[in-house]
Amino acid sequence: MFHRIAFLGVIGLTLTACSGDLSTLDPAGPYAGAIANLWWIMFIGSGLILALVLALLGLVFFKPGFGRSLSPKGWMIAGGLFLPVPVLVALMAYGMAQGEYLIGAWQNEPVVARVEAHGAMWHWGFRYPDLGDDVATDGTLHIPAGGVVEVRVTSADVVHSFWIPRLAGKIDAVPGHETVVRIKADVPGRYGGICAEYCGTGHAGMRFTVEAHPPETYRQRLTALAAGVSAP
């Protein structure tokens, strides 16, 4: 009984970990979706390999004489070459295809907004050059939903890592250097962002929020923020 309860608890925790504000397995945009799909494919592939190995191990224990027709060298060739090579080639091909998709999407989809993200111990600041030099926010990144947003990332001190798990992959924020990542939210909403590179004692609290607004109200919202007007 105890083992059954423990098993169900593990399953529940696993399913819970697949969702949430910082879950890469609960994507809210196509870029994060491509990364999540790659993870699931690798998870399924590794699970099938594990199941096969366990099945062979079970046959060895419970079926005396199983496998004796194949020499030890044959088992090494079969298990070390014929089994892993096709699997690794398939996974590599799929991973490269997803990478090409991301690169192609970045090149072909028009950018609807540009943002500058500035990391410093231990907070994030954002500027919106498309809307003017005086438009800036601290701790909250505002983007239009449904369009590609180009984020140019820098750091004021040490190496940080800019990451919005539900919208895109992570990218380093390097002092004196500018890196670029593109994000896209399918629908309006709030999404969590974090620094994914240990950067000192305040690292755990170096989080930020992404607010994706309907495209028709995005500029109005940022203009109101710049003017110090509260949202209705």
**pLDDT tens-place string over residues 85-129:** 888 888 888 888 877 777 666 567 789 999 999 999 999 999 999
Compute the average pLDDT of residues 173-188.
93
Preceding amide of 75 cis, omega within 30:
no
Handedness of CA 196, 199, 201, 205 (dihedral sign): negative
Say what the pTM is.
0.77
Could you tell me the residue ranges of all domains in the chain? 22-107, 111-227
For residues 90 and 9, give the distance between their C-alpha atoms in angstroms, rounded to a whole number.
34
Comparing 47 with 210, which gets the higher pLDDT?
Answer: 210
Compute the average pLDDT of residues 13-19.
54
For residues 33 and 166, give the distance between their C-alpha atoms in angstroms, rounded to a whole number.
8
Q: Are 182 and 151 in contact (CB under 8 A)?
A: yes
CATH superfamily of 111-227: Cupredoxins -  blue copper proteins (2.60.40.420)
Q: Are 12 and 146 in contact (CB under 8 A)?
A: no
Residue 7 predicted with pLDDT over 70: no
Give the model confidence (pLDDT) of 194-210 as tens digits.
Answer: 999 999 999 999 999 99
Interior CA angle at 22 toward 18 and 28, to 5°? Answer: 80
